[in-house]
Amino acid sequence: MESIGVLMACPMSSYLEQQLDNRFNLIRYWNFSDKKQFINDYAHSIRAVVGNAAAGADAELIEALPQLEIVASFSVGLDKIDLNKCKEKGIRVTNTPDVLTEDVADLAIGLILAVLRRICESDRYVKKGLWKAGDFALTSKFSGKRVGIIGLGRIGLAIAKRAEAFDCPISYYARSEKTNTNYKYYPTVVELATNCEILVVACALTPETRYVVNREVIDALGAKGILINIGRGPHVDEKEMVSSLLDGRLGGAGLDVFENEPEVPDNLFGLENVVLLPHVASGTEETRESMADIVIGNLEAHFQNKPLLTPVV
């Protein structure tokens, strides 16, 4: 398989990059400043694309690669891949579900605790020597607070399970009511936000869920409400969220994702009721290695005419 051309869309994992390099003819897309010349030189040799949450395979790239057979995502999300174009051309698509569920759910709970208990601010308080001048301000408890989850898939369920351990009543919004749970279902996100104190975004990014958290939802969550986003940045109307935090219409936010990563609104940097992370929900050594192994496994299976490990298309 060493002669098979595999295009890596952007830097994403040194382990994955090494494993791909050992098995395939790895082409690193980010090393080419002239994309048009790159396409002219390599279009007919690339049979696979490896992408992630930052870069994948849009319609333009797919059209430019006539020998493309498979797109393997180093991510559970598929919003950077034109699935319709892949279906139209018979291109297989895979992702990395399940292995990152626990890490993402853990981080969601960590963000909730960090925002409510002001953990980051408390850390800075001690390190700056301010404790000697007096005790830190009181914070807000997590246990028993009403948690609403947008999207009750694998990750949403894992977050719910963890929040239940804090005696939190759980409710959710999804495209339809789930039959495998007794959690309270709300048919709209506004109703969910109205009836919870912590709103967690855990759904896939689709045209329907873009800006699923808008001004109406934020106002329904209210001045004491906390927004947690471990989904994708465009799930939230970022301008409205920033405005609501500055105006005091939203109580706080814990954000692992942003609308135009790695750009983050400057107005968020000075807010102590906001915790910001650089899209690291699945960012543990153990999980990233497992994700990489799935990507490799899918590529090897495809080119050996074996069933894919995690097929999407």
264: left (phi over 0), alpha (psi -120 to 50) or beta: beta
| Fold match, 5-95+286-304 / 100-276 | yes
SS3 156: helix
Given the residues 92, 279, 288, 302, select the one marked as catalytic. Answer: 279
What is 100-276's CATH topology? Rossmann fold (3.40.50)
pTM of the model: 0.93
Active site residue 279: yes
Given the residues 47, 118, 162, 232, select the one marked as catalytic. Answer: 232
What are the residues whose beta carbons fall under 8 Å from the beta carbon of 162, sequence distance 6 or more? 105, 106, 108, 109
Active site residue 232: yes
CATH superfamily of 5-95+286-304: NAD(P)-binding Rossmann-like Domain (3.40.50.720)
pLDDT tens, per residue, the chain with 313 residues: 889 999 999 999 999 999 999 999 999 999 999 988 998 899 999 999 999 999 999 999 999 999 999 999 999 999 999 999 999 999 999 999 999 999 999 999 999 999 999 999 999 999 999 999 999 999 999 999 999 999 999 999 999 999 999 999 999 999 999 999 999 999 999 999 999 999 999 999 999 999 999 999 999 999 999 999 999 999 999 999 999 999 999 999 999 999 999 999 999 999 999 999 999 999 999 999 999 999 999 999 999 999 999 999 9
- The C-alpha atoms of residue 248 and residue 296 are separated, in whole angstroms, by 47
Structural domain boundaries of the chain?
5-95+286-304, 100-276
Burial 73-87 (b: 16+ CB within 10 A, else e): bbbbbbbbbbbebbe
Given the residues 60, 88, 164, 261, select the one marked as catalytic. Answer: 261
